[in-house]
């Protein structure tokens, strides 16, 4: 059934069921009608014939012993009286066989009828089909009555009557039933199609609407027609999608508020920080002349102001990604040169091994690519162990060429529980771990920058231990 359901659509199954029910009704009706009508026709024909035959025999005087010639005449007389059916009359008495025809005996009369006719004074009859033709055969013993009930005389008369006209009537009925059934089935197809349509249209609408919701078109609604179960389903669907839309909008509003808040806070922090950061050098330079406690406090403030400025910058950068306000300024650059400049700018040349083939040019945002490489290498230097290696290569995938940048360290690798989260914002591998040099947003910003380029970044642990972070960017830009 499952296979059937899977193989055929709802429409096919509906129409099939409709036609099956129609066919069963038609066939049942036709069969019952045929059987009833057929037995009524035949019953009537044979009852008439049997009664008539009995009356006619009773009207004939038969003398015993039987004279064949007289018996033949009796037979012919009886045969002439067969109305509305013509029948042939055969007589049997002992070994004597005479008939109203030119043959003394009939092949249609069965031994069973003979036995029955001899044993029963009321006579017997039988319907016989011979060579495809239906016959009614009646056996009627001639009786005499001497006041002690009727006794058989030993003479048995048989009437053999063709039932072809009745057969023709019955056949005509079969033909009529068959001719009626096919149009009936065809007519049944019309309501079947209409019903299928009336069921399937709402189902189709529902499917389309559900797909719309799936695509994120949460304002999709269905027109509710009528008041049947499907209309109720459509109504329920509309209710649910309204609720869903409201929840999603509320969530989006809440998220937008949260993001705007983060962005606003960063903005507001920036102005006082600008003043503070400009004077940290004054603090640093003069700390030496202060007493030890004040000097320590002043240096702490100076150092933390710097970190705070970095954190606020990173927060603002993330806010811009969230607000989709981050722009990509693509430029065609020499990638090896770009990476070397990143390492030089941070004085990392001595601590990082490079495998940078020359001559690779790609469409990149140099500032963002610098941040990506710097964050990955900085992360490897902080959390992994030297040597840190930066490898560059290109890959061809279909028509597009991809730039693959790999940063590997020689440390213990990243805990597998931590691995899926390293690009999360403010994710700390160890909750108790002290704050490191980074803002906790470095890898999240890296990921956003890579995505902005239409690329991917992933982290795995290398076969020889140590983390391997791989950035893949389309070389022609997006």
Partner 1 sequence: MPRVLLIEDDPSVREGVELGLRRRGHELRSVETGEEGLAALGEFLPDLVLLDLMLPGMNGVQVCRLIRETSQLPIIMLTARGDDFDVVVGLEAGADDYIVKPARTEVIEARIRAVLRRLAEPAGRGGIEFHGELAVDRAGLSVAKAGQRLLLAPSELKLLLHLSASPEQVFSRQQLLEYVWEHSYHGDARLVDACVRRLRQKIEDVAGSPRYIQTVRGFGYRFGPLA
Residues lying near partner 1 in the complex (CB under 8 A): 267, 270-282, 285, 306, 309, 312-313, 316-317, 320, 325, 327, 329, 331-334, 337-338, 341-342, 345, 361, 366-367, 369-370
Please, what is the minimum distance in Å from the beta carbon of residue 263 to partner 1? Answer: 9
Q: Which is nearer to partner 1, 164 or 478 (CB)?
A: 478
Nearest CB to partner 1, comparing residues 315 and 444: 315
CB atoms within 10 A of CB 248: 12
We find the least distance from the C-beta atom of residue 274 to partner 1, in angstroms, to be 4
Rg (C-alpha) for the chain, rounded Å, is 54
* Residue nearer to partner 1 on the CB measure, 93 or 369: 369
- Give Cα 467 distance to the centre of its chain: 44
Task: Give 92 or 365: the residue with its C-beta nearer to partner 1.
Answer: 365
CB of 370 to partner 1, least distance (A): 4
Q: E strand or H helix at 69, and its extent?
A: helix 68-80
> Smallest distance from the beta carbon of 206 to partner 1, in angstroms?
46
The least CB distance from residue 237 to partner 1, in Å, is: 43
**Read out DSSP for 382-431?**
HHS-SPEEEEEEEEEETTEEEEEEEEE--SS---TTTGGGTTSTT--SST
Distance CA 85, CA 395 (A): 101
In the bound state with partner 1, the residue whose beta carbon lies nearer, of 159 and 374, is 374
Chain centroid, CA 207 distance in Å: 11
Q: Whose Cβ is closer to partner 1: residue 131's or residue 271's?
A: 271
Compare residues 227 and 271 and give the one whose CB is closer to partner 1.
Answer: 271
**Structure token pair of residue 279:** 């004077």
User: Minimum distance between the CB of residue 424 and partner 1, rounded to whole angstroms?
Assistant: 23
Residue 341: exposure state from Cβ atoms within 10 A (0-12, 13-18, ≥19): middle
The least CB distance from residue 283 to partner 1, in Å, is 11
Helix, coil or strand: residue 227: coil
Gap between the Cα atoms of 143 and 150, Å rounded: 6
Tokens of 446: 């890296």
Rounded to a whole number of angstroms, the minimum distance from the CB of residue 241 to partner 1 is: 37
- Residue 262: exposed, middle, or buried by beta-carbon count in 10 A (0-12, 13-18, 19+)? middle
Burial state string for 147-161 with b = 16 or more CB within 10 A and e = fewer than 16: eeeeeebebbbbbbb
Q: Name the residue nearer to partner 1 (CB basis): 67 or 313.
A: 313
Residue 439: how many CB atoms within 10 A of its CB?
22
Smallest distance from the beta carbon of 429 to partner 1, in angstroms?
29
Beta bridge partners of 388: 352
Nearer to partner 1, 256 or 460 (CB): 256
Query: Which of 67, 476 has the CB closer to partner 1?
Result: 476
Query: What is the DSSP code string of 78-121?
Result: HHHT--SS--EEEEEETTEEEESSSSSS-SS--HHHHHHHHH-T
- The Cα 333–Cα 345 span in angstroms is 17
Q: How far is the CB of 474 from partner 1 (least distance, A)?
A: 16
Residue 146 backbone phi and psi in degrees, to 5: -105, 25
């Amino acid at each position: 059934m499952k296979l059937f359901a899977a193989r055929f659509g709802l429409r096919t199954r509906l129409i099939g069921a409709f036609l099956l029910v129609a066919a069963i009704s038609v066939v049942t009706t036709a069969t019952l009608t045929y059987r009833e009508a057929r037995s009524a026709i035949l019953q009537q024909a044979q009852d008439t014939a049997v009664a008539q035959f009995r009356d006619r025999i009773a009207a004939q005087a038969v003398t015993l012993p039987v004279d064949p010639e007289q018996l033949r005449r009796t037979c012919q007389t009886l045969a002439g009286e067969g109305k509305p059916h013509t029948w042939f009359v055969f007589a049997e008495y002992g070994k004597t066989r005479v008939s109203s025809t030119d043959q003394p005996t009939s092949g249609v009369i069965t031994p069973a009828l003979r036995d029955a006719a001899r044993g029963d004074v009321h006579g017997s009859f039988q319907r016989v089909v011979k060579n495809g033709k239906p016959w009614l055969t009646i056996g009627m013993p001639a009786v005499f009555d001497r006041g002690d009930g009727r006794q058989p005389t030993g003479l048995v008369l048989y009437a053999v009557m063709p039932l072809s006209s009745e057969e023709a009537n019955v056949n005509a009925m079969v033909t009529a039933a068959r001719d009626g059934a096919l149009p009936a089935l065809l007519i049944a197809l019309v309501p079947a199609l209409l019903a299928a349509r009336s069921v399937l249209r709402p189902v189709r609408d529902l499917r389309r609407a559900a797909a719309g919701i799936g695509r994120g078109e949460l304002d999709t609604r269905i027109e509710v027609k009528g008041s049947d179960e499907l209309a109720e389903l459509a109504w329920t669907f509309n209710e649910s999608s309204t609720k869903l839309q409201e929840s999603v909008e509320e969530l989006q509003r809440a998220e937008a508020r949260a993001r705007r808040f983060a962005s606003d806070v960063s903005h507001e922090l920036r102005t006082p920080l600008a003043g503070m950061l400009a004077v940290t050098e004054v603090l640093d330079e003069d700390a030496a002349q202060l007493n030890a406690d004040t000097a320590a406090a002043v240096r702490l403030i100076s150092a933390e102001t710097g970190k705070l400025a970095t954190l606020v910058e990173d927060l603002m950068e993330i806010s811009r990604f969230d607000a989709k306000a981050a722009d990509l300024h693509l430029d065609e650059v020499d990638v090896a040169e770009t990476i070397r400049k990143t390492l030089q700018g941070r004085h990392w040349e001595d601590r990082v091994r490079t495998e940078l083939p020359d001559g690779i040019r790609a469409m990149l945002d140099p500032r963002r690519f610098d941040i990506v490489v710097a964050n990955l290498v900085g992360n490897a230097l902080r959390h992994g162990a030297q040597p840190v290696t930066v490898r560059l290569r290109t890959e061809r995938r279909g028509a597009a060429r991809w730039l693959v940048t790999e940063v590997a360290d020689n440390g213990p690798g990243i805990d597998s529980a931590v691995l899926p989260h390293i690009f999360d914002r403010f994710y700390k591998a160890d909750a108790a771990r002290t704050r490191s040099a980074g803002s906790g947003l470095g890898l999240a910003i890296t990921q956003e920058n890579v995505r902005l380029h239409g690329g991917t970044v992933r982290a795995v642990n290398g076969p020889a231990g140590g983390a391997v972070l791989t950035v893949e960017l389309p070389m022609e830009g997006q």
